Amino acid sequence: MKNQDDSYLMKYLQNGHETSFRVIADQWYPAIYRFAYHYFGNRADAAEIAQKTMIKVHQNLQTLENQDSFKSWIYRIANNLCLDELKRAGRRKSTPLESVSLKNLLDERTPSTELETKELNGAIEKALAELPDDLREVVVLKQFENLTFREIAEILKIPESTAKTRMYNGLNELGSILKRWNINTNYLNRDG
């Protein structure tokens, strides 16, 4: 249904109804912000990417021929901007785990406090940053944005089977990294 709404809104927008953009921005800014946040792990970059994405969408809205593929299109724009930002900033990922405070988290299996959740989030951010770009983009789109493999394949212009293999490798690698850092990946399963 959301896809259909987006395609209608895009049609309106392409026909000069600027107010439609407000609705699109309201709907998509948070999603793109979250996507970029998972990519970079910080709010400033996430906000910048989300805003740039909205501006690019507005600038290039006439180039979108098939309005039904709006979702893939906007994620592709955001993903390309993230990759550009990575190249521009020349980030290298291997941040030592010592910089992440995990002292209570590692052994005690009670991640109930807010502090511990923050620490876990910090560790996951670092682990994600360790992944190669091609694996991270698939992990972020699948794990955090809940897109289907078909949608991911469309966004990244890769075969669906490649998206699945990359997701497998990404999860596998993340699991290894977390284990290397002595983060017990089973403790959250207690609730489930």
Q: Given the rule CB under 8 A, which residues bind another protein?
A: 18-19, 21-22, 25-26, 29-30, 33-34, 37-38, 47, 51, 54-55, 58, 111, 117, 120-121, 124-125, 139, 142-144, 148-149, 161, 164-165, 167-169, 171-172, 174-175, 178, 183, 185-186, 188-189, 192
Q: CB count, 10 Å around CB of 183?
A: 20
Q: If we measure between CA atoms, which residue out of 139, 132, 2 comes closest to residue 71?
A: 2
Classify residue 144 by its DSSP letter.
Answer: I
Q: How far is the CB of 120 from another protein (least distance, A)?
A: 7
Nearer to another protein, 82 or 90 (CB): 82
Q: How far is the CB of 137 from another protein (least distance, A)?
A: 15
Q: How far is the CB of 94 from another protein (least distance, A)?
A: 19
Q: How far is the CB of 109 from another protein (least distance, A)?
A: 12
Half-sphere exposure of 139 (CA within 13 A, CB side): 24
Nearer to another protein, 66 or 161 (CB): 161
> Rounded distance, CA 170 to CA 161, Å?
14
What are the C-alpha distances in Å from 148 to residues 8, 91, 118?
A: 22, 29, 28
Q: Could you tell me how many residues make up the chain?
A: 192
Nearer to another protein, 34 or 76 (CB): 34
